[in-house]
Structure 1
Amino acid sequence: MIRAIPISLAVTFLVSACAVQPPVVVEPDSGISSQTGQFEFALPSGDYRCEQGIRLALRREVQGKINHRVQLDWKGRHYQLERDPSYSGLPRFEDVASGLVWIDLPWKGLLLDGRTQTPLANECRAA
């Protein structure tokens, strides 16, 4: 009788262990658009503050979860930067006329002179 209790407990645990489903693994959203192969970050429009006290404003134009262009206000001027697919997949926007390039990273933005690749505003974050 004493042996019957441990055996019945063991059988109960084995049966219940078989009924337990393995944990479901949820893959995080990579942020890569299946339409373009480019990263898509959900970043805000609005005022941005950058290193050295530089301020700028961005308005993002998003269609179907894809950021196609940004409107940039910087140093009293208005620029329209179009999405330019990058080799790295990072969101890169360029105004060919002015040579300005805006690059989005998940934690900051960067404004470059596209002709010289010189940073004009770095460490830009939504205000």
Structure 2
Amino acid sequence: MQLPVRISLTFLAVLLVACATGGPPSSTESSDRKDVRARSERKQLDFRLASGTYRCELGQSVEVERHVPGDRAIEVRWEGKQHTLQRQASSSGLPRYEDRQNGLLWIDLPWKSVLMDAHSGRPLANECKPAASRTASG
């Protein structure tokens, strides 16, 4: 396997762990741990990211439409289909949008984004960057 591919796969694995959301706390979980989890879920990061076409590795592209700042959903056009992805809390606070019905997960970072198969954890479109920003919104 080539070094850039190994580095990308390693980074993606770390990113997945960082963006994982936990299930509901168990009844045996300590109150201190519940408080930490509640605080981390409230501290979700909001970046001013672009709407428009995102160009990705291997010649792929994803259309992303962001609405008003603070909106909890984005529209993603992937492989000719429009999907509405809802913002999900992540332990890292990174913007994480998911369409659970269709198994799509979009993770935003200030320097790149990735579209993943939420069921398998496999990247569908990696290293996605805005081609030409139409707007920079929430």
The normalised TM-score by structure 1 is: 0.68
Q: Which residue of 2 aligns with 1:43?
A: 49
- The residue that corresponds to 1:55 in the other structure is 61
Structure 1 stretches of 4+ with a deviation exceeding 3 A read none
Equivalent residues of 1:49, 1:124 under 8 A apart: yes
Alignment of 1:109-124 (within 5 A): 109-124=113-128
The answer to whether 1:86 aligns with 2:90 is yes
Q: CA deviation at 1:67?
A: 4.1
2:73 counterpart (69, 75, 94): 69
**Distance in 2 (alpha carbons) for counterparts of 1:73 and 1:92:** 16
Which structure: larger Rg?
1
Cα distance between partner residues in 2 of 1:37 and 1:66: 13
- Write the distance in 1 (CA, Å) between the matches of 2:78 and 2:99: 13
Structure 1 unaligned segments of length 5 or more: list them. Answer: 1-35
Matched, 1:125 2:125: no
In structure 2, stretches of 5+ residues that fail to align are 1-41, 132-138
> Deviation of residue 121 (structure 1)?
0.4
Aligned CA RMSD, in angstroms, stands at 1.4
**Partner Cα distance (1:67, 1:39) in 2:** 13
Size of the aligned set, in residue pairs, is 91
TM-score (norm 2): 0.63
More helix by share: 2
- Pick one of 61, 84, 108 that aligns with 1:104: 108
